[in-house]
Structure 1
Amino acid sequence: MGCIASKPPIDFSADVNFEHFKLLRSVGRGAFGKVCIVLKRDTKKLYAMKYMNKEKCLQKRAIRNVFNERKILESLQHQFIVNLWFAFQDEEDLFFVVDLMLGGDLRYHAQRSGAFSEDRIRLYTAELMMALVYIHDRNIIHRDIKPDNILMDENGHVHLADFNVAASIRKGSLLYARAGTKPYMAPEILNKSGYNQSADWWSLGVCMYELLRGKHPFRGGTTEEMLEMIQSAPIKYPTTWSEPCISFLSGLLERDVTKRMTITSENVQEVLKHPFLASLDYDKLINKELVPSFVPDKDKVNCDAMYELEEMMLEDNPLHKKKQRLQKTTMSKQEQAKRETIGAELQRIAEKFTVYDRSKVKSTPDVALDTNIDDDEITSASPRPQRASGLAVFSNEHDSSHMSEDENALRGDSDSRRVRSQSTDPDPLELPTRLVTPVVDDGSSTSSPIQA
């Protein structure tokens, strides 16, 4: 009888790579990639792994976004942000390994429970305030704050995620390009009058309102009507809301940028004395010692289970078959033609996307790195993004893959969440059932989904 060759041991002293992680299951899909839960084999620590196919990124002109997001995340580390820990690549994909948030995003929970209480929103608002103050102090604008990009950890604390369209900005300067998701854009972004970090506070106000009321504050029959409402329609506050809540919200949802509530490291403790937030202790807040009023179910993966088998059955290049695929020595004529067309682009990406391991970095920079990617370094076959004020920006056409014109813009539900089971590699570590067993929504919830 022939003997079965054993697998060679994994070299954990080498640069971090795909083999260092065990795939558990897919949990999400974003504008430029997919997300799965992984276990780092040597430390037995769980993370979320976002992977983006290089060829698809080139087709969607998203390479610039990927490099932009990575540079920004490398410069950040905060208790209320989804932090980057590793970045690497292989022949097919670019990988980000980040904090795992098992609680799901606020869109998911709002669609199942309806409007949130003021007590619940109060803590979320304060925690997101601390995250925004942190990134703004480092001259970064997020530009895409919405319930989908606010993730909850398993204890119920919220974290700001997805810096795909974030930008660095020089002090005292303005940006002019539209970027983000239209229902959450500040008026000054929509009318291209120039904006800075204050635009993020407007977006936070829109999120608060939407989650408190169960519907978006600006609802038009068409995209044009909605955009017009954002810039001029009166904002109606329910009489059932408390005066402190309305006062705080109206400070954020102020169209006049000079009058809008803008929170900085210099005034954040004073803002926390506002009647809406006054019950929160500052020290307990920053140390994550305040107890959330809602804690997600620890026996479930809190994401949509509708497309459980999508990647395994429909994905052209499923991640769990990567090893076999990369070991292929022959290519079809179609694959060869595609490689010849974009081969130079792929080579440049391979050279520029170096390995990142936060554990080997001495310190996190206090100031955000320059996030421009030089056109001579990384380009795509598609038309290049527009530029303004010397900063990399993105045109409306470029943003269309991140925000839709008529359907998703009005619906506000831009990213569908996917779940699948994926684990074939035996491992003695016992993992929570929710990480390796598919979750099935039995449809028992009777609450109305949030309306956007």
Structure 2
Amino acid sequence: MASLCCNKLGKGSLGQVILVKQKTTGVKYAMKAIRKPLAIDDDMRDQIIDKRHLLLRLNHPFIASLQFSFQSKANLFFVFDYLEGGTLKSLIQKEGKLSEERAKFILAELILGLEYLHQNDVVCADLTSQNILFDSNKNIKLTDFSSTRLLFKQDESDYITSSIQYMAPESVKDDNPTYCSDWWTLGIIFYEMIFGDLPYSSSELSAVLKQITNDEIVIPSSSCSDEARDLMGKLLQKDPQERLGNVDSSYIMGHSFFKDVNWYKVMKRQTKTDYLSPPSEGSDIYKSTGPSNPETILISEEVKYSQASKFQNLKLTVEGFSYDGDSALACSDCSSSPKKSSLASEN
């Protein structure tokens, strides 16, 4: 991997998010840094390695790909696709609310991404409109799902205020999230796209938790079609056993709201997207905070491998972590092929 030139995008309690560009190719990436003290105990180190292996296994058009991972003395670095279209949250804030056609297109891609994760034994659990991003072709990419939540979440207060309103009732009750929990979140995101806001308005954590577990969500009847309202209501069933999709994602895909959707074309990204206009580069999480000190964020091939060698025997070295997507560095236990979507073939 050639040298990277960098620009800080933001900072969280665990480290900073940096926009990096490969000098030889000009390709941009989003780099997330995790402070190594988090990996000092064996259990956390194993979790990080396991999650890094999972990220390498996942390969889907609607999931952001891990391109590189490496480490310095102080940090672990994950380098992902840079998604210049901004977040779904930004699009909703910009537009106020989305048309049903826009929402349908986004939901269709989201369903296929979630279906793939479920087929590979991954429950998203903390999906929000903030971690649904758009690429340059206006297709979505999922990022920061539960397999990376421990690595990439902000401080606890940020996590609560930004994510709690998307949580399923069973998750709020401390039950382990299931695939059905993701379908609840899909319903919340659908509601947010159509009505421009989340169904829970309180800023108090305890009040929101009570609303999620006890209050039925009222879906306005005048702002959406009967099909949209029916789908939303079936996704937002508090009992996961009564929720649409509890048996299989095909029940959601077969709902009348999607009657005009060609799922094969959606998977192949052949659906017309001219009516979508995601936020431009520089908005939302991609808004740069200005150039950082080149000595701290300029990462070259020589530095990367000298660090890997120099610190290999230290306690804070996480062995088996570094990965270069352009080389054959992937370890044997990461080579197992993920399951394919049910839409792998047109038939």
- Give the secondary-structure state (helix, strand or coil) at the position aligned to 1:348: coil
**1:365 equivalent in structure 2:** 336
Q: Hey, what does 2:321 align to over in structure 1? A: 354
Q: Distance in 2 between matches of 1:151 and 1:215?
A: 18
* Partner SS for 2:336: coil
1:367 to partner: Cα distance: 5.4
Specify the alignment match of 1:319 in structure 2. Answer: 297
1:278 to 259, 266, 284: 259
Higher helix share: 2
1:154 to 124, 129, 136: 136
For residue 230 of structure 1, give the secondary structure of its aligned residue in structure 2.
helix
**Deviation, structure 1 residue 83:** 0.9
1:44 offset after TM fit, Å?
A: 4.1
Higher mean C-alpha displacement, 217-226 vs 136-145:
217-226
Seen in structure 2, the aligned counterparts of structure 1 residues 108 and 243 have a Cα distance that, compared at 3 Å, is same
The answer to whether residue 229 in structure 2 is matched with residue 246 in structure 1 is yes
Shift of 1:52: 2.4
Secondary structure, counterpart of 2:178 in structure 1 = coil
User: Shift of residue 30 of structure 1?
Assistant: 5.0
Alignment partner, residue 184 of structure 1: 166
Residue identity opposite 2:242 in structure 1: K
Task: Report the equivalent of 1:289.
Answer: 270
> Structure 1 counterpart of 2:235, which letter?
L
Work out the CA distance in 2 between the residues paired with 1:87 and 1:306: 23
1:108 aligns with 2:93: no
Rounded Cα–Cα distance in structure 2 between residues aligned with 1:158 and 1:30: 24
Instruction: Find the aligned partners of 2:269 and 2:216 in 1 and give their Cα distance.
Output: 36
Residue in 2 aligned with 1:201?
183
Residue 398 of structure 1 corresponds to which residue in structure 2? none
Is 1:142–2:109 an aligned residue pair? no
Going from structure 1 to structure 2, the CA distance change for 1:140 and 1:277 (only over 3 Å counts) comes to same
Deviation digits for residues 317-359 of structure 1 (CA, Å, limit 9, x no counterpart) = 8424x78xx8xxxxxxxxxxxxxxxxx9993341425321344
Q: Provide, for residues 1-43 of structure 1, a one-character-per-residue CA deviation record: whole Å limited to 9, x for no partner.
A: xxxxxxxxxxxxxxx4xxx232243334456333223233444
Q: Deviations over 1:399-443 (max 9, x none)?
A: xxxxxxxxxxxxxxxxxxxxxxxxxxxxxxxxxxxxxxxxxxxxx
Instruction: State the distance in 2 between where 1:42 and 1:91 align.
Output: 26
Quote how far apart the aligned CAs of 1:303 are: 2.7
Deviation at 1:157, TM superposition (A): 0.9
Paired letter, 1:79: P
TM-superposed CA distance for 1:49, in Å, is 1.9
Which residue is equivalent to 1:258? 241
Q: 1:95 — aligned with what?
A: 77
Displacement of 1:48 after TM fit?
2.0
Cα distance, 1:258–1:47 mapped onto 2, change above 3 Å: same
**Pairwise CA RMSD of aligned residues?**
3.4
Q: Deviations over 1:191-246 (max 9, x none)?
A: 12443221111112112212221221122352111101101112111122111111
After superposition, give the CA deviation of every residue in 1:65-120 in whole Å (9 maximum; x if it has no partner): 64453132122111000011211112232111111210011122222221222111
When the two structures are superposed, what TM-score results if normalisation uses the length of structure 2?
0.78
Q: Distance in 2 between matches of 1:237 and 1:38?
A: 43
User: What's the offset of the Cα at 1:287?
Assistant: 0.5
Task: Check the 8 A contact 1:155/1:296 in 2, yes or no.
Answer: no
One-letter amino acid matched to 2:321:
T
Contact 1:209 1:249 in 2 (8 A): yes
Task: Tell me how far 1:306 sits from its aligned partner.
Answer: 7.1
Question: 2 CA distance for matches of 1:137 and 1:63?
Answer: 26
Do 1:144 and 1:166's aligned partners in 2 also have CA atoms closer than 8 Å? no
Give the whole-Å Cα distance in 2 for the aligned partners of 1:346 and 1:248: 55
Cα offset, 1:149, TM superposition: 0.8
Q: Is the 8 A contact 1:89 1:353 kept in 2?
A: no
SS at match of 2:17: strand
Across the two proteins, how many residue pairs are aligned to each other?
313
Larger-Rg structure: 1
**Structure 1 equivalent of residue 155 of structure 2:** none
**In the aligned structure 2, how far is the partner of 1:221 from the partner of 1:99?**
33
Asked whether the equivalents of residues 34 and 51 of structure 1 are also in contact (C-alpha less than 8 Å), the reply is: yes
Q: Supply the distance in 1 between the matched residues of 2:173 and 2:90 (Cα, whole angstroms).
A: 31
3-state DSSP class of the match of 2:284?
Answer: coil
> Bigger shift: 359-368 or 231-240?
359-368
Kept in 2, the 8 Å contact 1:157–1:288? The answer is yes
Residues 79 and 263 (structure 1), Cα distance of their counterparts in 2 relative to 1, 3 Å cut: farther
Q: Which amino acid aligns with 2:292?
A: M
2: CA distance, partners of 1:207 / 1:346: 46
Equivalent position amino acid for 1:253 in 2: L
- Of the three residues 45, 60, 64, the one matched with 1:82 is 64
Is there any run of 5+ residues in structure 1 with no aligned partner, and where?
A: 1-15, 168-177, 327-343, 369-452
Residue pair 1:27, 1:303 contacting (<8 A) in 2 also = no
- Equivalence for 2:156: none
SS in 2 for 1:141: coil
Using the size of structure 1 for normalisation, the TM-score is: 0.61
Instruction: Compute the displacement of 1:301 (Å).
Output: 2.5
CA contact (8 A) 1:154 1:296 kept: no
Secondary structure of the corresponding residue to residue 136 of structure 1: helix
